[in-house]
A and B are shown apart, each in its own frame.
Chain A
Amino acid sequence: MALPAGRDRSEPESRTLVERAANGEAAASAELYIALRAPVRALCRRLLRSDGDAEEAAADVLLRIERLARDYDDSITFRGFVLRAATNHCIDRLRRRRLERRWIASVAGTVETTSPSPSPLSRLVGREHRDRVRAAIRTLPDVYRVVLVLRYYRELSYDEIAERLQMPRATVGTALFRAKALLRSRLGSAEP
Chain B
Amino acid sequence: MIEEPDMDCLTELDYGRYCDGDFGVAEKRHVDAHLASCPDCRKLMASLEAENEIIRGALDEVPPEPAAVQVVAGGLAIALVVAVAIRWITSGFAEWSLLATAPSAVGVLVSLVQRVGYPAAIILSVVIISVALLIFVKKRPALPFVAAFVLVLGAPLEALTIRTGGEIVRVAAGTIIHDDVIASGQVVRIEGTIDGDLYALASRIEITGTVTGRVFALAESVIVGGRAEAASLSAFARTVSVEGQVRAWRAWAERISMIGGARTTGDLQAMGRFITLGGHVDGRTVVYGHALTVESTARLGGLRAYVGDPRGLDIAGAAVLTGLRELRAGPRSKLSREALIGRLVLTLLTSAAGAWLWRRRRRFLELSALRLTAWWSSLGRGVARVGVAMTVLAGLAVTIIGVPLALAGLVLLAVASLVGQIVVAAFLAEHLRWRGGQPAFELRLLAALVIISLLSLPGWGIGGTLSGLLSLAGIGAVVIRPGRGRPA
Give A contacts to B, CB under 8 Å: 26, 30, 33, 37-38, 41-42, 45-46, 51, 55-56, 58-60, 62-63, 111, 113-116, 118-119, 121-122, 124-125, 129-131, 133-134, 137, 148-149, 151-153, 157-158, 173-174, 176-177, 180, 183
Prevailing SS type, chain A contact patch: helix
Prevailing SS type, chain B contact patch: helix
User: Contact check: which of A113, A124, A129, A149 meets B59 at CB < 8 Å?
Assistant: A149
User: What's the Cα separation between A84 and B303 when bound, in Å?
Assistant: 66
Which residues from B are CB-within-8-Å of A62? 366
Please determine whether B61 and A130 come into contact, CB atoms closer than 8 angstroms. Answer: yes
Please determine whether A173 and B16 come into contact, CB atoms closer than 8 angstroms. Answer: yes
Please determine whether B55 and A173 come into contact, CB atoms closer than 8 angstroms. Answer: no
Please determine whether A59 and B13 come into contact, CB atoms closer than 8 angstroms. Answer: no
Q: Looking across the interface, which residue of chain B has its beta carbon closest to that of A133?
A: B58
Which residues from A are CB-within-8-Å of B47? 118-119, 122
Please determine whether B16 and A180 come into contact, CB atoms closer than 8 angstroms. Answer: yes
Range of interface residues on B (Cβ < 8 Å): 35 or more
Give B contacts to A, CB under 8 Å: 9, 11-14, 16-17, 20-22, 40, 43-44, 47-48, 50-52, 54-64, 362-363, 365-366, 369, 372, 481-483
Please determine whether A173 and B365 come into contact, CB atoms closer than 8 angstroms. Answer: no
Please determine whether A111 and B56 come into contact, CB atoms closer than 8 angstroms. Answer: no
Provide a sorted-by-A list of 5 A–B residue pairs whose CB atoms are within 8 angstroms.
A118-B43, A130-B57, A134-B63, A148-B59, A173-B13
Which residues from A are CB-within-8-Å of B61? 130-131, 134
User: What's the Cα separation between A58 and B362 when bound, in Å?
Assistant: 10
User: What's the Cα separation between A137 and B51 when bound, in Å?
Assistant: 13
Which residues from B are CB-within-8-Å of A38? 483
User: What's the Cα separation between A121 and B52 when bound, in Å?
Assistant: 9
Please determine whether B369 and A114 come into contact, CB atoms closer than 8 angstroms. Answer: no
Please determine whether B365 and A55 come into contact, CB atoms closer than 8 angstroms. Answer: no
Q: Looking across the interface, which residue of chain A has its beta carbon closest to that of B365?
A: A63
- Closest Cβ of chain A to B362, distance in Å, is 4
Which residues from B are CB-within-8-Å of A115? 9, 11-12, 40, 44
- Closest Cβ of chain B to A76, distance in Å, is 19
Please determine whether A152 and B56 come into contact, CB atoms closer than 8 angstroms. Answer: yes
Q: Looking across the interface, which residue of chain A has its beta carbon closest to that of B57?
A: A130
Contact A148:B369 (CB < 8 A) given known A173-B16, A177-B13: no
Please determine whether B363 and A45 come into contact, CB atoms closer than 8 angstroms. Answer: no
Please determine whether B483 and A41 come into contact, CB atoms closer than 8 angstroms. Answer: yes
